[in-house]
Amino acid sequence: MKINSLLIANRGEIAIRVIQTAKLMGIETWVIKTSKEPNALYLSAADKVIDFTDHAEDIPEFLDIEKIVSAVKEHNISAVHPGYGFLAESPVFAQRCEDENIIFIGPSPEAILKMGNKTIAKQLARKHKVPLLEGSLGDVKDPQEAREIARKIGYPVILKAASGGGGRGMRIVENDGELEKMFKMASSEAAKAFNDPAVFVEKYVRNPRHIEFQIFGDKQGNIIHLGERECSVQRKHQKLIEESPSAALDKALREKMGLAAINIAKSVNYYSAGTVEFLLDSDNKFYFMEMNTRIQVEHPVTEMVTGLDLIELQIRVAQDEPLPLKQKDVQCNGWAFEFRINAEDVQAGFSPSLGTIEKMSLPRSKNIRIDSGIQEGAVITPYFDSMIAKLIIHGENREKAILYSANALKKLWIKGLKTTIPFCKAVLNNSSFKKGKYDTSFLQSEMKIHYFQDKDAEMLAAFFATYDFARSLKEDEDKTVDFDKGKNITPWILNKRLKSR
Amino acid sequence: MRYTSEKALKDVFIACGEGKRKFEIVNPLDENVKIKGKKMDIRVFEDPDGFSYLIWKNHKYQVDILEKNQNKYTVIINGVWYYFSIETPISYKRRKFLIKSEVSSKTERIVAPMPGKILDILVEENTEIKQGEAVLILEAMKMQNEILANITGKVKKIYVRQNDSVMKDDILIEIEKF
């Protein structure tokens, strides 16, 4: 069934990313306008806008399945792309679309359901002989049960939300004493974020690398992998910088892990884009973590090295076309990095930085790609996550890609709020990172300061503040001319002047 | 001549940073400026497209005033922020005196570092708390942030309740020093 029109049930940069490909394919694009950001950039990128600004606040707009489904039917739209986050991994939403003859651009509801439940996913992995970490076989009901398992497999352990993802609902526990508090936190976070308080316990690998494989399947049963991404630069399990390929893998290990990823995907007859996440320990042993049944934030690094458009492949697979390439046709060229530009104050522990983008200056070159959902004048609100743009750089090899990245970051200026740009610069300046020798402990162990500070910058800042202050003083002084003429004087200054005479 | 003496005072500024960091800056505030007694060739440019930048030793530094309240500035250079209060020699003396008297105050207030929602309060009034212990959990931008006690003492008053929405700088908890 051919897709003529498509609703993106999402916002920000990913909505714009999907629109770009859909337009190239001649598909009419629709988006949803919310009262939280009625002037957002993604609205002007689409052909048609559905107005949800009158939405009542019981569930957020992009999570309201019934409302989205009825809008799609009302406007006779043939397909829905969920982006990432929101309903992207909701089996209920995918099923509702199927029931209503709406094409869901993503995997089957069964695949989402099985992989979305980490307990089932682990059982499938075990069945297909993919390496796993020791831990509870299923959900644990209370802190006591968690404690028993933890004692058996040994601390440290990690508590994870059974329906979780993206780092939420996860807690590392170092000893018995912390367990109860951490269990409660993980469970309440899981209940809030994923509507499911269930958590499980797993052996915690200290300082692993986070390696994930992009896989792709079609409805004819073909499944291939498009190489790996390394996402070890993380803070509290939130990825900040990703690269493809990974400096940790050689050809043999890549083949072994790629095959394991394909086997996981095969276990649920997977089609569309998916990501199989592994932990890689210091002995190059890998363990299956989870499978994400959606397009990922970091998909552009795979696109940069493979030359493929993953959104296009998703759309083609959704309209029942077979994959246009086989495993042997997948070519990876050069090296790519992605830097997440978040509205966060790195100097204040990455706390959210709200405000207005007053000005932006973006670097341009053929090896630079910027996926962004903002424009000058955009207001960064607390309603959505803090990522405002992604800077993606391609180079002939890792060394060159790092060099191009450093140059591009120097030219990326955003005025009006604090961003993670100085953090990205600091990472590129780190010698372990440059050598490709880093793991998920990188931020704590390797970076004493989480932002890059130019030599003399503090002195220059002191100068500029003084420069502006002196200028304001002078402006105040100039106002005395007005005073002499008896014009434009505020009562406050008048009072001050009178007292000083 | 009162006016000239006022003018003379404005020839020296002290930019006080965080901690005890300070820069003495002597007029004129152009390429002949003296900072910490040394002549510095810094030039200020304003782009027609709205960016300001400084040229120093052949390098271009993007500069921006993020916040300004009378003499208190948050300046961003290449994305990194610096906080300064700009003092004259007279106000600098007064400031030193004020800082001394602040230190002796007995209570410390924890304020919200960002707008958000109070998910959970982990302490009770009139209980002891150690520096670095979590006092409450604030959710913002879909992240749960632990708010930590900045001093060791006794929780004197809790100003918020669970599920309250708070604005940046709202007072959350007051801790009394031992």
Tell me if chain A has a CB within 8 Å of the CB of B51.
yes
**What are the distances in angstroms from CA B27 to CA A340, A375, A434, B14, B24?**
41, 39, 43, 11, 10
Q: In what order do the strands lie in the sheet with B134-140?
A: B143-148, B134-140, B116-121, B165-166
In angstroms, the CA A231 to CA A277 distance is: 10
CB atoms inside a 10 Å sphere around CB A137:
11
| DSSP characters over A230-253 | EEEEEETTEEEEEEES-TT--HHH
With beta carbons less than 8 A apart as the criterion, state whether B16 and B22 touch. Answer: yes
Provide mean pLDDT across the span A1-29: 97
Tell whether the torsion through CA atoms of B25, B28, B33 and B39 is positive or negative. Answer: negative
Please determine, looking at this structure, whether the domain spanning B2-103 carries the CATH number 3.40.50.170: no
| Chain B hits for A414, Cβ within 8 Å | 79
Strand-pair partners of A168: A165
Chain B residues closer than 8 Å to A459 by CB: 23, 35-36, 40
Q: Mean pLDDT lowest for which of A13-27, A164-178, A376-390, A449-463?
A: A164-178
pLDDT above 70 coverage of chain A, percent: 95
Q: Can you tell me the distance from the alpha carbon of A476 to that of A467, in angstroms, rounded to the nearest whole number?
A: 14
pLDDT at A498 (0 to 100): 59
Please state the ipTM of this predicted complex: 0.76
Q: Which residue of B has its CA nearest to A359?
A: B50
Does the beta carbon of A375 lie under 8 angstroms from any beta carbon of chain B?
no
Residue A292 distance to chain B (closest CA, Å): 19
Identify the pLDDT of residue A86: 96
Q: To which H or E segment does residue A161 belong? A: strand A157-165
Q: Is B99 on the interface with A (CB under 8 A)?
A: no
Burial class (CB in 10 A: 0-12, 13-18, 19+), A325: middle
Sort A243 into a burial class: Cβ within 10 Å, 0-12 / 13-18 / 19+: buried
Residues of chain A with Cβ-Cβ distance to B17 below 8 Å are 458, 462
**Stretch(es) of chain A classified as CATH 3.40.50.20:** 5-105
Q: A365 with A408: CB under 8 angstroms?
A: yes
pLDDT, tens only, A308-319: 999 999 999 999
CB spacing of B13 vs A470 below 8 angstroms = yes
pLDDT for the residue numbered A311:
98
* More confident of the two residues A22 and B152: A22
pLDDT at B25: 94
Closest listed residue to residue A70, CA positions, set A50, A92, A47: A50
Contact B8, B20 (CB under 8 A): no
Give the integer Cα–Cα distance in Å for A234 and A279: 13
CA distance A373 to chain B (A): 16
Q: A361 exposed, middle or buried (CB, 10 Å; 0-12, 13-18, 19+)?
A: middle
Q: Where are the alpha helices (DSSP H) in A100-175?
A: 109-116, 118-127, 143-153
Least confident piece of the model among A133-137, A218-222, A286-290: A133-137
The CATH class given to the A134-203 domain equals alpha beta
Which pair of structure tokens corresponds to residue A154? 């040994």
Note the pLDDT of residue A261: 98
Tokens for A336, please give them.
């790519």
Task: Give me chain B's average pLDDT, please.
Answer: 85
Closest in A236, A418, A462 to B17, CB measured: A462
Interface check for A470 against chain B (CB to CB < 8 A): the answer is yes
For residue A347, give the DSSP letter. Answer: G
pLDDT of residue A483 exceeding 60, the answer is no
**Strand ranges (DSSP E) for A196-334?**
199-203, 209-217, 223-235, 238-244, 272-280, 286-292
A318 or B7, greater pLDDT: A318
Nearest to B73 by CA among B85, B64, B88: B85
CA distance A67 to A71: 6
Contacts of the segment A294-297: beta carbons below 8 A, 24+ positions apart? A294/A82, A294/A83, A294/A84, A294/A88, A294/A89, A294/A106, A295/A14, A295/A83, A295/A84, A295/A88, A296/A84, A296/A212, A296/A214, A296/A229, A297/A14, A297/A84, A297/A239, A297/A340, A297/A387, A297/A390
For chain B, the structural domain boundaries read 2-103, 107-177
**Confidence class of residue B4 from pLDDT cuts 50, 70 and 90?**
very low
The reply to whether A235 belongs to the active site is no
pLDDT at position A501 over 80: no
Q: At what angle do helices A109-116 and A118-127 cross, to 10 degrees?
A: 90
Least confident segment among A9-23, A432-446, A465-479, B71-85: A465-479
Find the mean pLDDT for residues B15-33. Answer: 89
CATH fold label, A209-445: D-amino Acid Aminotransferase; Chain A, domain 1 (3.30.470)
Report CB contact under 8 Å: A422, B78.
Answer: yes
- DSSP 3-state assignment of A422? helix
- Looking at A11, A96, A254, A294, which residue is catalytic? A294
Residue B101 has pLDDT above 70, yes or no: no
pLDDT digits (tens, 9 = 90+) for A208-217: 999 999 999 9
Q: Which amino acid is at A419?
A: T
- Do domains B2-103 and B107-177 share one topology? The answer is no
End-to-end CA distance of chain B: 52
Partners of B134 in beta bridges: B148
Vertex B122, ends B117 and B123: CA angle to 5°?
A: 120
Residue with tokens 């002084």: A477
Locus of tokens 């060229």 = A333
Note the pLDDT of residue B3: 38
- Give the rounded percent of residues in chain A with a pLDDT score beyond 90: 79
At A497 the pLDDT is 58
Mean pLDDT score, A41-68: 94
From-to residues of CATH 3.30.1490.20 in chain A: 134-203
Q: Is A234 in the B-facing interface, judged by CB distances under 8 Å?
A: no
- Reported as a single tens digit per residue, the pLDDT across A182-204 is 999 899 888 887 888 999 999 99
The alpha carbon torsion through B16, B21, B24, B28 (nearest 10 deg) reads: -70
Residue A101 and residue A99: Cα distance in Å, rounded?
A: 6
The pTM is what? 0.83
Distances (CA, A) of A312 to A33, A234, A340, A371, A399: 24, 29, 23, 16, 30
How close, in Å, is residue B77 to chain A by CA atoms?
Answer: 7
CA–CA separation, A178 vs A169, rounded Å? Answer: 16
Half-sphere exposure (Cβ direction) of A176: Cα atoms closer than 13 Å: 4
Strands B143-148 and B134-140: antiparallel
| Per-window interface: B 114-153 vs A, CB < 8 A | 114-116, 119-120, 137, 140-145
Size of chain B in residues? 178
How is domain A5-105 classified at the architecture level of CATH?
3-Layer(aba) Sandwich (3.40)
* Other beta carbons less than 10 A from residue A445's beta carbon: 12
Average pLDDT of the segment spanning A462-475: 91
Residue of B10, B40, B82 with shortest CB distance to A470: B10
The answer as to CATH 3.40.430.10 being correct for domain B107-177 is no
So what's the pLDDT on residue B6? Answer: 46
Tell me the pLDDT band of B71, cut-offs 50, 70 and 90: very high
- For residue range A101-130, what is the model confidence (pLDDT) as tens digits? 999 999 999 999 999 988 899 999 999 999
Question: Residues B71, B87: contact at Cβ < 8 Å?
Answer: yes
3-class DSSP assignment, residue A424: helix
Distance of CA B29 to the CA centre of its chain: 23
DSSP character at residue B10: T
The larger pLDDT score, comparing residue B106 to residue A441, is at A441
pLDDT-derived band at A493, boundaries 50, 70, 90: low
Q: In the prediction, which pLDDT does B10 show?
A: 60
